[in-house]
C-alpha cells in the first residue's frame, strides 16, 4: 500500500522552520532588519530576483509539482486568514476576528501535526511554537495599529523581524540551496507586506489594499516556490 505523500511533503517543506527554537538575532541586527523591512519595495534585489526567477522556473517546469502545490496552499492559507483577521478587526466584528484567528491557529496545528508525523512529537511542538510566534507578532501588530498604539506596533514588527532572521539562519544551515541573506530578505519583505496591508486596512483604503493583496499573494507564491525548489534539489528522491 502506497502511503499518503502529503505529510511527508509538508514535513520536508517545513524542515527549515524548526529553527525558530534558536535565539533571536542581536538587538542591533533586529533594528537594522526592521528598518530594511519598512516596505516591500525596499527588500534587497537579490531576494526579489530569487523569488521571481524561482517562481518563473517552477511555473514552467516545477521539479516537484506536488511539493510546490502543497507549499503554495499552506502559505496562501496563512495570508488569507491573517487578512481576514485584519478586516474583521477594522470592521469591529469580534466574532469574525475570532473565527479568523482560530483559522490561523488551526492551520498552524495542521502543519505541526504533519511535521510530528515525520519528525516526531518534539519537532511538531517546535513547529507549532514557531508558527505561534509568527502569528502572535502579526496579530499584535494588527491590534496595535487598530487602536493607534505605535510603540506596541513597533515591538510587534521587531518580533516579526527576529522570527524571520531565525528561520533564514536555519534554512541556510539546513539547505545549501538557500543563501541566508537572500532568504532573510524574502521573509523581511513578507513581513513588510503584512505591515503595509494592515495599515491600508485600518485606513479604509480598499483600492490600495486590493493592490497590496495582489502583490502579497505573488510574493508569497515566490517564497513557497523558492522553498519547494530548494527542498526538491536537496531531496530529489523524496520530493515529488
pLDDT tens-place string over residues 192-234: 999 999 999 999 999 999 999 999 999 989 988 987 787 788 7
Residue 125 to residues 18, 60, 112, Cα–Cα distance (Å): 9, 36, 7
Q: Tell me, what's the pLDDT at 143?
A: 98
Q: What is the pLDDT of residues 151-166, one digit of tens each?
A: 999 999 999 999 888 7
Its pTM stands at 0.75
Judged on CB neighbours under 10 Å (0-12, 13-18, 19+), 219 is: buried
Dist CA 220 CA 208 (whole Å): 18
Query: Cell for 173?
Result: 544551515
Residue stretches of the chain with pLDDT short of 70? 1-61, 111-120, 122-124, 126-127, 170-171, 174, 239
Q: Tell me, what's the pLDDT at 116?
A: 58
Q: Tell me, what's the pLDDT at 158?
A: 97
3-state secondary structure of 4: coil
Judged on CB neighbours under 10 Å (0-12, 13-18, 19+), 92 is: exposed
Q: Where are the domains of the chain?
A: 63-234
Amino acid at each position: 500500500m502506497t502511503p499518503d505523500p502529503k505529510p511527508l511533503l509538508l514535513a520536508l517543506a517545513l524542515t527549515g522552520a524548526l529553527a525558530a527554537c534558536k535565539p533571536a538575532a542581536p538587538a542591533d541586527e533586529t533594528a537594522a532588519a526592521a528598518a530594511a523591512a519598512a516596505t516591500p519595495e525596499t527588500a534587497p534585489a537579490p531576494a526579489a530576483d530569487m523569488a521571481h526567477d524561482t517562481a518563473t522556473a517552477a511555473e514552467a517546469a516545477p521539479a516537484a509539482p506536488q511539493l510546490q502545490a502543497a507549499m503554495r496552499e499552506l502559505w496562501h492559507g496563512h495570508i488569507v486568514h491573517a487578512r481576514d483577521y485584519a478586516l474583521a478587526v477594522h470592521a469591529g466584528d469580534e466574532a469574525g476576528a475570532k473565527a479568523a484567528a482560530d483559522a490561523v491557529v488551526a492551520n498552524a496545528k495542521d502543519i505541526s501535526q504533519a511535521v510530528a508525523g515525520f519528525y516526531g512529537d518534539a519537532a511538531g511542538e517546535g513547529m507549532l511554537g514557531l508558527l505561534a510566534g509568527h502569528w502572535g507578532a502579526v496579530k499584535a501588530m494588527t491590534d496595535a495599529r487598530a487602536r493607534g498604539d505605535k510603540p506596541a506596533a513597533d515591538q510587534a514588527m521587531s518580533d516579526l523581524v527576529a522570527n524571520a532572521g531565525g528561520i533564514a539562519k536555519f534554512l541556510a544551515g539546513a539547505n545549501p540551496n538557500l543563501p541566508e541573506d537572500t532568504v532573510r530578505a524574502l521573509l523581511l519583505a513578507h513581513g513588510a507586506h503584512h505591515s503595509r496591508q494592515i495599515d491600508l486596512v485600518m485606513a479604509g483604503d480598499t483600492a490600495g489594499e486590493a493592490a497590496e493583496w495582489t502583490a502579497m499573494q505573488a510574493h508569497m507564491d515566490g517564497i513557497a516556490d523558492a522553498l519547494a525548489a530548494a527542498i526538491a534539489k536537496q531531496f530529489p528522491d523524496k520530493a515529488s
